Structures are given as C-alpha cells and as structure tokens.
Amino acid sequence: MKYLPLVYLSTFSVGAYAGTLVSSSPPANISGPVAKAFLSYSIEFAWFAEYSGNLSHPNTFTNHLLNNFNDVQGHKPYLRVGGNTQDNALFDPLLKVAVNGTFGNPDIAYPTTLTYGESFFEGYQVFDNVKFSQGFNLGANGTVGFNNLKSTLPLACKALNESNLAYFEIGNEADQYASKKSNRGPIRAAGWNVSLWLDDWRNRSATLESLYAESGCENTPFRLTAPSFAGKTWIEPAFEAGFADYAENVTIIAAHSYVAGANSLGVTLQDTLMNHATTKSVVDGHVDLMSAVAPYTDLPYMIGEGNSLSSQGKSGVSNSFGAALWNIDFALYAASVGIWRIHLHNGVGYNYAAWHPSSWNGTTPVTKAPYYGNIATAATLGNVARNKTQISSIPMSNTTDSAYAIYKDGSLASIAILNMAGYNYTKPPTTRPSKTYSFSISDESKYKAGSVKRLMANGSDAITGITWDGYSYNYNLANGKPSRLTNITNSEQEEPVKVINGAFNVTLPHSSFTLVELA
C-alpha cells in the first residue's frame, strides 16, 4: 500500500487571515439534535441471513464492523431488514434453512422467488445492542397475504421485543407495485394509485395489530414506519388522502432516496457523486417533502432506504473511494437539514454495499470503500446520545468542496472538510494536487489548536487501501476489527493545526476528508 508523500498530509498555521467564518455557537437556523443511530443500515431481506448468520454460526465479521461504530460513537447502527424481496418473500414452515431463493433474472442481484424458514429469525438474536426493523410482505394479497402474516408475526415477536425492535414496516416501495414483477407476476394491476395503496396498507396494518394478542407479542411494541415509497411523488398525496388518520402507530415517516440510476446516462463519479450541489439538491427534495407533510404530522422524517445509485450501484463508481466521500457528504448534509435517520442499503454483490459479509457462492468477505465513509461519519458525529449534537453546513464556493461545523452541547467542537476534486491514481499527474482551506472562528480566543483525522486512499478511483485515521478495517487483517497501519500517519503523529486569533488553515489532498477536532 503506497500513499502520498507526507508533505501532502501536513497542516499549516495561519496569521491574521480571516478565512471562512464559522460561529463558535450554533447558528440561529441550525437543525435540531442529531438522533441516536443517525447513520444506520438497510439490508435486503433475501440477504439478511448472509449478513447475520444464525445462533450456531453468527457472522463475526458483521459483528465486528458494527462494534466499530460503538467504539467511535457509543452505539451501533440500526438494521432495517427489507427491500424489494420482502414483497416476494413467503414463509415456509418446513424450510430447514433461513432462505431459499431462485434467481429468475441474471441482471438482478437478488432472487425473484423467495421463501424463508423459522431460522431466518435467529438473525435478530446474534448481535448485542442492535435494533432492527422487520419488513412484512404487502405484495401478497388475499388468503396468501393473511396466512403469511399470521405465520410470521409470532416468530418476529419472539425474536424482537422492546430492547431490539426499532419498527415494523409493511411493504416496500409500493408506489412501484404496478411495474415490479415477482414470482406471482405484477404485484398490482395497472391503475394502482395512492388511494388503493392506502386501503391496502390500512387493512394490513389493522390485521397486523389484531393478530398481536394471539401471537405472543405482549413484549413487542407495535411500532411502524411508513410509507416507504421509492419516489417522492406519492408522499404528499398519501397524506392528502388521509394517511395520517390511520397512522396512529407510525412512529417515523420513511422515504427512499438514490442520487440516480446505475444505468442512467451521464452518471460519473465526479459529476454525480463527488459533487456537493448534486447531493444538496437530492436531500433538499426531502426537505421540501418534510415541509409539505408538516401540516398533517409532526413525526420525524427519515430516509428509510437509500444509497448512491439505484439498481445496486455501478461498478467503479458506487464501490470506489469517491463513493465513500459521497457517503460522508450525503449523511452530514442530511443531518444538517433535520433528516432524522438514514438507512444505507446493502446486499450481497451490491456495488454500493458497505461490506460483503460472507463467502457466498465462492466469494470472499470484504470491507468495501463506503464503509470507511460511514465510520468516518460516525466518528465525526460522535456520541450523540451523550452530547447534544448539532451540525451546520458551511457554504463553500466550489461544488467539489464541502464543509460542516459540528456543535456539542452548544459549542463548536469540530469542523469537517471534504475535498471532492477527483484524483485518479491509476492515471495520476506527477504529484497529487492539494488545496488549503482557511477558517475563522467567531470567538477568537476560545480555541488554540485542532487535532487532525483523515480519511485517505490512493485516489478517488481506489476500491481498496483505504484508512480512517491510520486504521484499516479489512477482513483479511483482523476480521473487520480496527488495525493500525504503521506506514500511515494518524492524528497522534500529525502536527495539530494552530489556531491563532480564531483562524487556522488545513491542507487536504484532492479526494480526501479531514476532521479537525478543536480544543
């Protein structure tokens, strides 16, 4: 592993230069406190058993990767189990394995026909201090749908209780039911609309609640998340149609979010992901929806499933270090505008997945580039359950630059900076370019220095060789546990920035992230 020369990792003091002004206390328009487990994951229903394992063979790799979050932020991400396959999945009480799937379409990275057995629910019991969201099938109609729900609810309630249930979810991306296909053909007929969905969802949620008493669910709270649409166009009409009148058990509003389609024309790493203007535009669309539904509900709003590019992402883009930088920008900007939580979607063989969990079909477990962006985000936010944490986006002049001020208990604690100018190490110039960023804190006497933590790789097109503050989380090194790489500079070795009269400079190589923790 070869990184850039140490000179590009150095920082510099600044004299009286003003730089970008940052308030030492939260600005008046700052969003509310960041929620616990703000950065969480979504796992495709069909692939959950690969990520979790079972009681006799738990997936220790996944467990270590989740534990790393606890180390840097004091708690673990929530795991949402759902996705397209939750609406194809039918319970088989005779099945001796967790799942049995048939891949009917070679272009889709999940089975189109899926059954699951009782051992599937063991996955909810293998990780300590993790909360889960269980997805129920809304796609199956009539007697099939009722019997499927009646068979699985007792098993879900046995595995999930007050301590480890985040919420239940009924159906996934129902706004696309008329176009999606499963083993049963189209999930819904042409003419499917918001009103028909509301009737279906209302009846299924009422059925679910009515089955609670006979399903051994006395220790499992009845908490739902909805509507979980793929797009934004149905959400406001759903509320206009009366969704809030039937949502007394909904605890959080969920919508899905992807920047673009993996096969969309014009998709590039630089313009589509490593571009703050694009990221801001995508997230601001959710802010508009939050405002639109505010007259109907005061529930928090989350991105219940999302990632970079839909259809499992694009190779060389969604699995690159540039995508790790996008993950940070997307998460921090979402937190800054009041998004309650984000569940980043994962599945076996998915390009945008944070990690590949197992040796499925002859493959090898791998910690992928997006995971490093996720762990850096968690470290940037810190323990939000212990300290009231708020975040403010700092305006920057270029779309390849992004910066955030993080406040803890009412005081500026750190500044996060992204340099998203592309640097392709496979086609490098003679030296890697860098850029110096200058900041000026409003309280000129409060801070004297700042320690520096960096997310680094050889370039934006790298898919391996990534470190956060000098640590690797590779499977091959320590099964996902942090491994200190002695040839990489970390915050204990790098000279702190000097803050003089509230001002400081910090230099970032192109395609990198830096967190300056102030003191």
Query: Residue 47 maps to which CATH number?
Result: 3.20.20.80
The reply to whether 44 and 180 lie within a common domain is yes
The reply to whether 421 and 342 lie within a common domain is no
Q: Which two tokens stand for residue 248?
A: 């007394």
What pLDDT band is residue 185 in, cutting at 50, 70 and 90? low
Q: What range does the domain containing 333 cover?
A: 39-388
The reply to whether 359 and 452 lie within a common domain is no
Which of 364, 388, 412 marks a domain boundary? Answer: 388
287's enclosing H/E stretch is helix 276-293
pTM: 0.95
Do the Cβ atoms of 52 and 134 come closer than 8 Å?
A: no
Stretch 79-105: mean pLDDT, rounded?
94
Whether 513 maps to a domain, the answer reads yes
The reply to whether 419 and 359 lie within a common domain is no
Higher pLDDT, 15 or 419: 419
Residue 94: burial class (beta carbons within 10 Å; 0-12, 13-18, 19+): exposed
Residue 251 has pLDDT above 70, yes or no: yes
Whether 509 maps to a domain, the answer reads yes
- Phi, psi angle pair for 156, to nearest 5°: -65, -40
Residue 264 has pLDDT above 50, yes or no: yes
Which of 332, 365, 388 marks a domain boundary? Answer: 388
| Number of domain units in the chain | 2
Residue 91 has pLDDT above 70, yes or no: yes
The reply to whether 54 and 102 lie within a common domain is yes
Length of the chain: 519
Q: What residues does 17 pair with on adjacent strands?
A: none
Position 12 scores a pLDDT of 35
Whether 14 maps to a domain, the answer reads no
The angle subtended at Cα 138 by Cα 134 and Cα 142, nearest 5°, is 135
What pLDDT band is residue 13 in, cutting at 50, 70 and 90? very low
Residue 7 has pLDDT above 60, yes or no: no
Position 505 scores a pLDDT of 97
Cα–Cα distance list, 477 to 268, 366, 481, 483, 491 (Å): 32, 11, 8, 7, 21
Residue 59 has pLDDT above 90, yes or no: yes
Residue 111 has pLDDT above 50, yes or no: yes
Whether 121 maps to a domain, the answer reads yes
Cα–Cα distance list, 305 to 4, 202, 241, 302, 345 (Å): 36, 22, 24, 9, 6
The reply to whether 222 and 110 lie within a common domain is yes
What does the alpha-carbon distance between residue 358 and residue 502 come to, in Å, rounded to a whole number?
A: 49
Residue 232 has pLDDT above 60, yes or no: yes
Taking only the tens place, the pLDDT of each residue in 380-389 is 999 999 999 9
The reply to whether 383 and 415 lie within a common domain is no
Taking only the tens place, the pLDDT of each residue in 437-446 is 999 999 999 9
Stretch 225-242: mean pLDDT, rounded?
97
Whether 109 maps to a domain, the answer reads yes
The reply to whether 358 and 426 lie within a common domain is no
What is the residue whose two structure tokens read 């293998």?
126
Which of 372, 388, 404 marks a domain boundary? Answer: 388
Q: How many CB atoms lie within 10 A of CB 287?
A: 16
For residue 424, give the CATH number of its domain: 2.60.40.1180
Stretch 304-327: mean pLDDT, rounded?
98
